Structure 1
Amino acid sequence: MSPEPDSPGVADGMRRGGCAANIAVVRRLFEAIETRGDPKDFAARWAAYVEMYDPDVVIHEAFGLPCGGDYSGDDAVARHAQAFNAAWQGLQSINDRSLEPRFLADGDHVIVLWRQKGTSADGEVFDMPAVSVYQMKDGRIIDARMFHFDTAAVIGFLKRASRLVSAES
C-alpha cells in the first residue's frame, strides 16, 4: 500500500502522485486487454498498448503455460500477446474478458489482483484469481510478472478446451 504522502523520509518516487500515475498506466493496460476483441481502431489501440511498455521490458509467465516463458527484446510485447491470444482464442466472451482488476501500488511497483476467465465449447467455466506485479520505469512497464493461483488448473482447462476444438474440426 502507498505510504502517506507527507510521511517523514518518504522519497519523491514513493509519494502518492507517483503511485497514482503508475496505477493509471497499468489501468490503461488492463482496459486494453479487456477490449482486445473489438476490431474497432485496432492499430491505434495496439500502438497505445505497446507504448505502455519500456523498450527493454521483460515479461514473465509461468513456463508450463502455453503462453509461458520470459519475453524480452524488441518484439517481447507482440510475442507475449500472440502467445496469450493463441492460448485463449475462442475461450473468452466479452464477459470472460472482464478481469475485475484491483490496483495497489508502492513506489515503482503496481500490483494487480485480477481474475482469469474462460468458457470452453462444452460450457466448462474457468474463473480463477491471479496476481500481476509490474515494475515501472519513467512511467512505463519495465518488468511484468503474472502469477496464477493454480497453474496446473489453467493448463488442464486449456488442454481440455483445445481437445474440444480439435474434435470439432
Structure 2
Amino acid sequence: MTTSSTPDSVTVLSGMYAAESEYLAAGGPGVATFDLLAPFFAPDVVLHQADALPYGGTWRGHAGMARFFLAMSQVWESFDLLEQEFVATGETAVVLSRVRARARASGLELTFPILQAITVKDGQIVEVRPFCWDTEVIARACAAPGQADQDLL
C-alpha cells in the first residue's frame, strides 16, 4: 500500500480558513501580507465570483487573489464565518458556510449561506467556485444608500 504525503482537501481547506482568519484579524489587505494565504493557493489558482456581486469576475493567480481580498475588504466592514460543513471532501471539496457580514457602504448586516466547490490538487487550491443564494440581495446591501434603488430602475 502506498501512502501519500500530500495533504487532503479537508487539511488544506482547514489550514486556509485558519490563515484567512489570521489574515483578516491582522488587518487584511493593505495591512497584513498575503503571504499568510499564499501557500494554500496554487500559483495559477482561479477564483470565479458571480458577476452580479460587487467583487464579481474571475480572479487569477496569487496577484489576483490578493486583489480579490482587497476588493472584498472594500465592500465588507466585517465578514464572519458562523458555521461550516464539509459536504464533500474529495479532490473537489464542497463546503457550505453560513456568513454574517456588514456592508461598508450601507451599514447593513446580512446573514447568508455560501456553497463553495473547491478543487485541491497536490496540496494546494487550484480553483474556487462560490455560489451565493441571492446575489441581488448582497449587491443591494453593498450599494451606497440610494444607489440600490437607482440600479433597479
1:163 maps to 2:145: yes
Q: Once the 2 structures are TM-superposed, how far is the Cα of residue 125 of structure 1 from its aligned partner?
A: 2.8
Distance 1:120 1:71 in 2: 21
Q: Which runs of 4+ in 1 moved over 4 A?
A: 120-123
Partner of 1:132: 116
Q: Give 1:101's aligned amino acid.
A: Q
State the aligned residue count: 140
Q: Once the 2 structures are TM-superposed, how far is the Cα of residue 145 of structure 1 from its aligned partner?
A: 0.7
Distance 1:158 1:116 in 2: 15
Partner of 2:17: 30
1:71 maps to 2:55: no
Q: Deviations over 1:40-97 (max 9, x none)?
A: 8944xx3231110111111010011111100114512111111111111x2x1xxx51
Per mean C-alpha deviation after superposition, the further-off stretch among 27-36 and 52-61 is 27-36
Partner of 1:4: none
Q: What is the DSSP-based 3-state SS (H/G/I as helix, E as strand, rest coil) of the residue aligned with 1:100?
A: strand
Distance 2:92 2:110 in 1: 28
Q: Once the 2 structures are TM-superposed, how far is the Cα of residue 163 of structure 1 from its aligned partner?
A: 2.9
Distance 1:62 1:100 in 2: 22
Q: Is the 8 A contact 1:34 1:98 kept in 2?
A: no
Alignment match of 2:43 (pick from 55, 66, 77): 55
Q: Is the 8 A contact 2:75 2:103 kept in 1?
A: no
Where do 5+ consecutive residues of structure 1 fail to align?
1-11, 165-169
Partner of 1:83: 71
Q: Deviations over 1:111-137 (max 9, x none)?
A: 110023223588643101110110011
RMSD of aligned Cα (Å): 2.8
Q: Rg: which structure is higher?
A: 1
Determine which structure has the larger strand proportion and give its number: 2
Distance 1:77 1:124 in 2: 25
Q: Is the 8 A contact 1:23 1:105 kept in 2?
A: no
Q: Is the 8 A contact 1:34 1:99 kept in 2?
A: no
Judging changes above 3 Å, is the alpha-carbon distance between structure 1 residues 135 and 85 closer, same or farther for their aligned structure 2 residues?
A: same
Q: Give 1:69's aligned amino acid.
A: G
Judging changes above 3 Å, is the alpha-carbon distance between structure 1 residues 120 and 81 closer, same or farther for their aligned structure 2 residues?
A: closer
| TM-score (ref. length: structure 2) | 0.77
| TM-score (ref. length: structure 1) | 0.70
Judging changes above 3 Å, is the alpha-carbon distance between structure 1 residues 35 and 97 closer, same or farther for their aligned structure 2 residues?
A: farther
